[in-house]
Amino acid sequence: MKKKMITVGILSVFAVGMFQPAAEARNIGRINTSINATGEVRTQLHGKVNDTKRGVVNLTEGTNSAWVTASMRNSNNEYRGGVTLRGNERREFAQTSVAAKGFLYKLGLRKTDAGSMTVKGSWSPDV
C-alpha cells in the first residue's frame, strides 16, 4: 500500500510537470560604456525577442541631469524602438510593429546633450 502511494505521488509530479507551459527566459544585456553626443555606442547583438510588444532600459549609473537616447535595432541595423531617459532611471519602450519574435537585437546609446558620460545598467529587448 505504501509503495503504491509513493508511486502514484511520483507519477503525479511528473504528470504535472509535463503539462506546464515552458517559460522562455528573458534576455538581459549589461551596459557599461562611455557615451557622448557625437556618436552612438552600440551594444553587441543581444538575445532574441520573446515578446514583441515592449523593451526596457535600466540605467543604474550616470549623471541624473544628462539625457540618453536608447534605440533598439535589428541585425540589419533597422530601428525597432527606443526611448529617451536619464541616468539612474528605468524606462520601458514600445517596439515598432515590425520587431519580430526570434530575431537578434542590439541597443544603441547616445547622449543627447554636449559632453560625455559613463553609463551602467541593463536592457532587454522584451519586458
Distance between CA atoms of 105 and 98, rounded to whole angstroms?
A: 12
Residue 104 confidence (pLDDT): 81
Q: How far, in whole angstroms, is CA 111 from its chain's centroid?
A: 20
Read off the pLDDT of each residue in 15-25 and give the average, rounded to a whole number: 47
Domains and CATH numbers, the chain: 28-124 (2.60.120.380)
64-117, pLDDT tens digit by residue? 678 888 888 888 888 888 999 988 899 998 887 777 777 788 888 888 877 788
Distance between CA atoms of 127 and 105, rounded to whole angstroms?
A: 14
CB 51 within 8 A of CB 69: no
Residue 14 confidence (pLDDT): 47
Distance between CA atoms of 8 and 15, rounded to whole angstroms?
A: 10
